[in-house]
Structure 1
Amino acid sequence: MSKLPEFSSDFFRLDHKAAIVTGGASGLGFYYTKALLRSGARVLVVSRTDKNWEAIRSMDDVFSGQVAFLKCDLTAPDAAKKITETAQKQFDHIDILVNNAGMQLRNNWRDFKDDDWRKVLDLNLNALYYLSHEVAKVMADQGHGKIINVGSMQSFRAGKFIFPYTASKHAVVGLTKAYADALAGDNIQVNAIAPGYIDTPMTKDLQNDPQRNQEILAHIPAGHWAQPRELMGTLVFLASEASNYVTGTTIPVDGGYLLR
């Protein structure tokens, strides 16, 4: 058995690491991108539009060549290959993949459309699978890699108006475990983050509904909605050398929501 180096805070640094973040220019993905860049990584941001690209470029601590962008529909048949090849051309290698892109559609069960089911599953699950599979080939040839999937509280709970979202996020946890087992021999760690209730524009309607807001707060032992920055440390940990012996797990970042 080889002797491991002494622990250092440098284990959390991502200098010279190359990362892909899907949906990395908006919502929580923006903060995942920010966390990686601030930890020294170079990042390929993949998104359907160029919204917020300039905001990322203009960050004070983003240096030239540290960030690249690709406009891409993740559900397109050639998306996984296109993203992987772009990252390799840009950075020569791929150390980190953050499967963040996702969507949610809501309806009563009687009125839920088959097309909406397919849309959500295609993005939240199928696109994640195809990209992970393509990137894993590169990582296996390198002999190392980190794949980080983004789950949800609905990875553990029911969602009576969001059937495809709940199904997809349960499946993300299962896929995380399966890939972690399959890729461990190639020194690739596969884990997931399950965000709780986060203060973002997408949740403003819930926060502004006095009854629902109070119900949600009563369910969170920490007593408050999370700020997006409260997810950034977990993301960096899973992307870094500090988590090399962590694989196949899903970490809820939920202020204790799942305890109640």
Structure 2
Amino acid sequence: MDETLTLFSLQGKRALITGSGRGIGLALARGLAGAGAAIIINDRNERKAAAVAAGLRDEGFDVGIAVFDVTDREQVIAAIGRIEKDIGAIDILVNNAGIQRRAPLESFDERDWNDLLRVNLDGVFQVSQAVARHMLARGRGKIINIGSVQSELARPGIAPYAATKGAIRMLTKGMCAEWARRGIQTNAIAPGYFETDLNRALVDDPAFSEWLCKRTPAGRWGRVEELCGAAVFLASPASDFVNGQTLFVDGGLTSVV
């Protein structure tokens, strides 16, 4: 293999991708596996995780599963411990698990606000902390947090979601400040508007799709597989001197007025 291409190889590495039972998480799992990584699918539902893993194994990938809820600290710590003990070291962590809630800010339900914080922010903190303790002991590791264009931009109806994704951008910088000298590279990917179940209501809204295609320089919705290149880069030795950054994969949306 060409020396430059080996920089992007994930052979011999193991990646845990939270919330990887569908959508962006599943696409990223497949992309990292395609670059040579052994992957661990995470979902709260064991049957769903097992079915996804079986499908990926049929494609020839090395796949395990870890069933836990990112919002449950005890579950997280126990699951990470089992992976490290029974499967092997987690070299790459992708914090993908997330939810969306939409409502006008003045009438936003407190329970929805708390749910967003628990999944989108607390979950990233808890899983990262549990995994990083093992990475720090080894002196190496890659953490990739999934942000959003809402890490940079706001839009009516999703202010609390934007707040959680803005926090992810700063938490990524904080992880860099804490752990870079100890061998961990922490970065974030900020997807633009992609066709996923999370965005189904918007994809099916002709007025919104028309607005988005006009607003985005690329002129279209993103496809989830288009996030894989960024993930492979940030998970691989090619990014060993990249730390604390948020990479926007958004068709140019955040670059224009």
Question: TM-score, with normalisation over the residues of structure 1?
Answer: 0.92
Stretches of structure 1 lacking an aligned partner (at least 5 in a row): 1-5
Partner of 1:122: 118
Q: In the alignment, does 2:48 pair up with 1:51?
A: yes
Mean CA deviation greater in 138-147 or 52-61: 52-61
More helix by share: 2
Q: In the alignment, does 2:201 pair up with 1:193?
A: no
How far apart, in 1, do the equivalents of 2:83 and 2:150 lie?
31
- Give CA-to-partner distance per residue, 1:92-129, whole Å, 9 cap, x none: 21110000000011112232111111111011001111
How far apart, in 2, do the equivalents of 1:52 and 1:225 lie?
27
CA apart distance, 1:148: 0.2
Q: How does 1:39-78 map to 2 (within 5 A)?
A: 39-49=35-45, 50-51=47-48, 53-59=50-56, 60-63=58-61, 66-78=62-74
What is the aligned-residue identity percentage? Answer: 38
Q: 2:204 aligns with which of 203, 208, 215?
A: 208
1:170 counterpart SS class: helix
Q: Is the 8 A contact 1:26 1:52 kept in 2?
A: no
CA apart distance, 1:7: 4.5
1:252 counterpart SS class: strand
How far apart, in 2, do the equivalents of 1:22 and 1:152 lie?
16
Q: In the alignment, does 2:101 pair up with 1:102?
A: no
| Residue-pair matches, total | 253
How far apart, in 2, do the equivalents of 1:146 and 1:104 lie?
26
Partner of 2:242: 246
Stretches of structure 2 lacking an aligned partner (at least 5 in a row): none
How far apart, in 2, do the equivalents of 1:210 and 1:159 lie?
18
Residue type of the alignment partner of 1:61: E
Mean CA deviation greater in 23-32 or 66-75: 66-75
Partner of 2:228: 232
Q: Is the 8 A contact 2:94 2:143 kept in 1?
A: yes
2:137 counterpart SS class: helix
1:78 counterpart SS class: helix
- Give CA-to-partner distance per residue, 1:60-80, whole Å, 9 cap, x none: 4334xx211122121113133
User: Runs ≥4 in structure 1, deviation > 3 angstroms?
Assistant: none
Residues 122 and 161 (structure 1), Cα distance of their counterparts in 2 relative to 1, 3 Å cut: same
Q: Is the 8 A contact 2:49 2:65 kept in 1?
A: no
Q: 2:131 aligns with which of 132, 135, 152?
A: 135
Residue type of the alignment partner of 2:85: K
Residues 52 and 217 (structure 1), Cα distance of their counterparts in 2 relative to 1, 3 Å cut: farther
Q: How does 1:144-223 map to 2 (within 5 A)?
A: 144-223=140-219
- Give CA-to-partner distance per residue, 1:38-92, whole Å, 9 cap, x none: 11111221111132642442234334xx211122121113133123112202432
Question: TM-score, with normalisation over the residues of structure 2?
Answer: 0.93
Residues 130 and 52 (structure 1), Cα distance of their counterparts in 2 relative to 1, 3 Å cut: closer
RMSD across aligned positions (CA) = 1.6
Mean CA deviation greater in 108-117 or 12-21: 108-117
- Give CA-to-partner distance per residue, 1:129-149, whole Å, 9 cap, x none: 111112111111111100000
